[in-house]
Amino acid sequence: MQFIDLLTQKDRIRKSLLHRLEAIIDHGQYIMGPEISELESRLAEYVGVKHCVSCSSGTDALLMPLLAKGIGRGDAVLTTPFTFIATAEVITLAGAVPVFVDVSPETFNIDPSLVERAVEEAHEHGLRPKAIIPVDIFGLPADYSRLEAVADTFGLWMLEDAAQSFGGSFRGKRAGGFGLCGATSFFPAKPLGCYGDGGAVFTDDGELDGLLRSVRVHGSGKDKYSNDRIGINGRLDTMQAAVLLEKLTIFDDELEERQRVARSYSEKLKDVLRVPSVPEGYCSAWAQYSVLADSSGERQIMMQALQAEGIPSVIYYKIPLHLQKAYASLGYREGDFPVSEELSRKIFSLPMHPYLREEEIERIATVIGTQKK
């Protein structure tokens, strides 16, 4: 059994994808070919925003807006410690300091009620709080109604980390469309993934769109040899754009299948483990299906039992960012973010993809249920 099944998906698009790749080989525009603008147009339309800027990874999609907005030394950017390090890493790479905000025990997303304290903490350390990066963890959008209100209160602009949530939505608005801009990832394991690294930034702000396009190509001005600012080499390869264009043709169908898998898991496991909570008005893209055991010991027993049956499982995330060695200099200690720390001790993720069969879900649930008795 596979944790994520990319081979079955590949068989659905193989013929049309090969035609697209052959067209690229024929026209020879391997960097910024016509498929790039086609993809950006399709993605912007899908999310419901005016502009989409594709780029070389989800990490660069987070970094580029920070550089475009001039985030740097002396600035603080708020984010969650319960995420992959890239979310905080880009803050550091831009020269600013990440200030962490604990997450909600229900959704695992950043808790809006704790933002004010983080702003105060930034000021106490002589920092200027400038922005906030909520994370749509495991595919579930954050609470953007409350977050937008609190961000406005404290003068923060918001960068949505939609690396895991492309295809998800909150009150009818699609992930990637919140805040000043949203960033997503096309890493192969994501709900919409390419065959390498890739990412995109979404925004309705025309000025920011222009700045992002400059930052993406070494801070270019009127041409790539006129450099108006410091940027990066952040372009998306044309062939990856072709992969994404073909995957978009089956994406809505795959999202429906992810909902089916999640519903089946939750029905079979709700009396055994704590299953994910999706509040009313939200739609998760189900990048991961993550459950909570009663303890770290129980988690270990269940994961070992699954492994013995050839069923993969993964821990996202076993060490919250404030306890990572890379951020020891920030001075955080164990106990500072209790919800994130408890999640890290108890959480684990089960196979999740659109091609997971009902009998496979039943088998997974049976193995887990047996260990609970």
Q: Are residues 115 and 140 in the same domain?
A: yes
Please tell me whether residues 237 and 264 are part of one structural domain: no
Indicate if 263 and 319 belong to the same structural domain.
yes
- pLDDT tens column, 70-110: 999 999 999 999 999 999 999 999 999 999 999 999 999 99
Which CATH number does the domain housing residue 115 bear? Answer: 3.40.640.10
Using the 3D structure, point to which of 245, 263, 282 is the last residue of a domain. 245
Q: What is the pLDDT of residue 72?
A: 97
Residue 83 domain-assigned (yes or no): yes
* Whole-number Cα distances in Å, 310 to 9, 313, 367, 373: 21, 10, 11, 21
pLDDT in tens, 252-292: 999 999 999 999 999 999 999 999 999 999 999 999 999 99
Best CA proximity match to 156, nearest among 226, 79, 208: 79
Instruction: List the 97-100 sheet strands across, edge first.
Output: 51-55, 199-203, 181-185, 157-161, 128-133, 75-79, 97-100
Residue where one domain finishes, among candidates 245, 269, 291: 245
Domain identity same for 205 and 311: no
Give me the amino acid identity at 155: G
CA 232/CA 56 separation, integer angstroms: 10
| Residue 356, helix vs strand vs coil | coil
Q: What is the pLDDT of residues 153-176, one digit of tens each?
A: 999 999 999 999 999 999 999 999
Please state the rounded mean pLDDT for residues 14-36. Answer: 96
Q: Is the pLDDT of residue 117 over 90?
A: yes
**Is 210 part of a structural domain of the chain?**
yes
Mean pLDDT of the chain: 97
pLDDT of residue 373: 60
Q: Which residue out of 69, 190, 268, 346 is catalytically annotated?
A: 190
User: What is the domain count for the chain?
Assistant: 2
Q: Judge if 214 and 274 occupy the same domain.
A: no
Q: Does the residue 329 lie in any domain?
A: yes
187-204 average pLDDT score: 98
Kindly report, residue by residue over 343-356, the tens digit of the pLDDT: 999 999 999 999 99
Q: What is the pLDDT of residues 26-78, one digit of tens each?
A: 999 999 999 999 999 999 999 999 999 999 999 999 999 999 999 999 999 99
Q: Give the pair of three-digit tokens for residue 53.
A: 């800027």
Q: Do 234 and 293 fall into the same domain?
A: no
Nearest to 189 by CA among 314, 280, 15: 314
Domain assignment of residue 267, given as a range: 251-372
Residues 317 and 302 in one domain: yes
pLDDT band at residue 372, thresholds of 50, 70 and 90?
confident
Of 354, 265, 361, the C-alpha closest to 4 is 354
Q: What is the mean pLDDT of residues 328-341?
A: 97
Please report, rounded to a whole number, the percentage of residues in the chain having pLDDT higher than 70.
Answer: 100
The residue from 188, 210, 245 where one domain ends is 245
Is 190 labeled as catalytic in the residue annotation? yes
Residues 126 and 219 in one domain: yes
- Is residue 183 domain-shared with residue 67, that is, in the same domain? yes
* Same-domain pairing of 79 and 211: yes
Cα torsion for 141, 145, 151, 155, to the nearest 10°? 140
Q: Is 1 part of a structural domain of the chain?
A: no
Q: What's the CATH code of the domain at 308?
A: 3.90.1150.10
Average pLDDT over residues 316-334: 97
Task: Tell me if 114 is assigned to some domain.
Answer: yes
∠ CA 362-6-275 to the nearest 5 degrees? 40
Local confidence band at 251 (pLDDT 50, 70, 90 cut-offs): very high
Q: CA-CA distance, 2 to 14, in Å (whole number)?
A: 20
Task: Indicate whether 186 and 284 sit together in one domain.
Answer: no
**Span 247-256, mean pLDDT?**
98
* Together in a domain, 229 and 262: no
Sign of the C-alpha dihedral, residues 199, 222, 93, 134?
negative
3-class DSSP state of 275: coil
Helices (H), 1-85: 6-27, 34-47, 58-68
Q: Which two tokens stand for residue 300?
A: 């270990």
Q: Cα–Cα distance between 85 and 295 in angstroms, integer? A: 24
Distance CA 165, CA 150 (A): 22
Instruction: State residue 371's pLDDT score.
Output: 83
Q: Is the pLDDT of residue 141 over 90?
A: yes
